Amino acid sequence: MFDAATAGQKKLVEVAGLKMYFPITAGIFRRHVGDVKAVDNVSFDIYEGETLGLVGESGCGKSTCGRVILRLYDPTAGSIRIDGVEIGKSTQSDLRKMRPTMQMVFQDPQASLNPRMTVAAIIGEPLDEHSKLTKGEKLDRIYELMDAVGLNRNFANRYPHEFSGGQRQRIGIARALALNPKFIVCDEPIAALDVSIQAQVVNLLEQLQDQFGLTYLFISHDLSMVRHIADRVAVMYLGRIAELAPREALYDKPMHPYTQALLSAVPEPDPNIETERRRIILTGDVPSPANPPKGCNFCTRCPKVMGICRQIEPEFREVEPNRHVACHLYNDTNETAGQTATSEVQEHPTRRTT
């Protein structure tokens, strides 16, 4: 497994204290009455050549976080550094110079492609905007990108509706690669695809990463696929990072109660193991990001909630080498309690899956 920290790789993406609040207005005069806290004080780093998986329930703020990092939204607060350049407060003209470095693969390959443009025009659009290539050089580059993502060159003059979902996603990936970026946000790139096609797209992303030295933020709710592609995994809940750890460490020994509940829902391909799998069933619904609970935002559903959880927000801190958790169970004064709670989840499961 790729270990950027021990390999001495430099940080390509540095996110610190990132917030993205969407204002809520009411009345005739559109008075500001509150905020939807889609991303609330998120911090993490991504190393060169690494894939960081970002997982969580629908509506937890994963996609918003990815879009804010690329400045598709203007952040409410926080710092964003990509390749050593602070872009959190950059103007659009300054951001334009950074666009070749950072690109995005969107979730819905049909909605993200212009139906009135041919494949060649779609892939070549970034080259039109950011390069001074001649028409011939541009066409050569388009063919080169189509070859890289496994598209037939004869399809260059076809339109998006003539392709399958997997082929459309390959077009989106080719467009993202056009300017030789260093960092790509993959916003649930396989969610809208058939299961039979998902593995092909993920394998393509891994192949391109090795070929071009790419760095990914891979956003997904598919924990099995994240385990396949990610080097480290960040678990997000209600706008905040609950746990951040190397892939195998997180899947083998989840520390945060929310991570434990998420991983307990992942089916096992081995039927003998599957019959012994135990689910941790969370009660209640996810609170509204417009009115998150006081203290820990998971306290309303946590099976190990304590009094302090309802009063004080837990610090996102390193509890083991390269492992960060935001949970009062792992504060210095509660270290023993945290270890006991983890073992109880493993030895005394809540419920057998049917």
pLDDT at 6: 45
Mean pLDDT, rounded, for 79-97: 92
70-84, 112-126, 266-280, 303-317: which has the minimum mean pLDDT? 266-280
Task: Tell me how crowded residue 138 is: count the other CB atoms within 10 A of its CB.
Answer: 18
Average pLDDT over residues 318-344: 69
Which residue do the tokens 């350049």 mark?
85
Domain boundaries in the chain? Answer: 4-252, 270-354
Mean pLDDT, range 85-113, rounded to an integer: 91
Q: Grade residue 2 by pLDDT with cuts at 50, 70 and 90.
A: low
- Whole-prediction pTM: 0.88
Cα distance between residue 196 and residue 72, in whole Å? 31
Q: What is the DSSP string of 197-250?
A: HHHHHHHHHHHHHHHHT-EEEEE-S-HHHHHHH-SEEEEEETTEEEEEEEHHHH
Share of the chain above pLDDT 90, in %: 71
Which residue would you say has higher pLDDT here, 283 or 128?
128
Q: How far apart are CA 313 and CA 176, in angstroms?
A: 38
pLDDT of amino acid 123: 96
82/70 Cα distance (integer angstroms): 9
Q: Which helix (H) or strand (E) holds 71?
A: none
State the burial class of residue 99 (Cβ atoms within 10 Å of its Cβ: 0-12, 13-18, 19+). middle
Is 269's pLDDT higher than 70? yes
Whether 353 has a pLDDT exceeding 80, the answer reads no
Structure tokens that stand for 177 in this block: 């690669």
For 143-195, the pLDDT digits (tens) are 999 999 999 999 999 999 999 989 999 999 999 999 999 999 999 998 878 88
pLDDT the model gives residue 286: 85
Which of 3.40.50.300, 3.20.20.100, 3.40.47.10, 3.40.50.2000 is the CATH number of 4-252? 3.40.50.300
Considering only 84-93, 96-105, 127-136, 281-290, which range has the smallest mean pLDDT? 281-290
Question: What percentage of the chain has pLDDT greater than the value 70?
Answer: 91
Number of helices (H), then strands (E), belonging to the chain: the values are: 12, 14
DSSP state of 328: G
Q: Which of 10, 7, 1 is nearest to 231 (CA)?
A: 1
pLDDT score for 351: 36
pLDDT on residue 4: 53
- Cβ-based neighbours of 72, under 8 Å, separated by 6 or more: 104
CA 24 to each of CA 39, 67, 95, 240, 285: distance values in angstroms, whole numbers, following the listed order = 15, 20, 28, 20, 22
Helical segments of the chain, H only:
4-7, 62-69, 92-98, 119-130, 135-148, 165-177, 195-212, 223-229, 247-252, 257-264, 271-276, 335-347
For residues 116 and 157, the answer to whether their CB atoms sit within 8 Å is no
- State the DSSP string of 294-317: SSSTTTTT-TT--GGGGTSPPPEE
Residues 6+ apart with CB under 8 A from 51: 2, 209, 215, 216, 217, 218, 229, 230, 231, 232
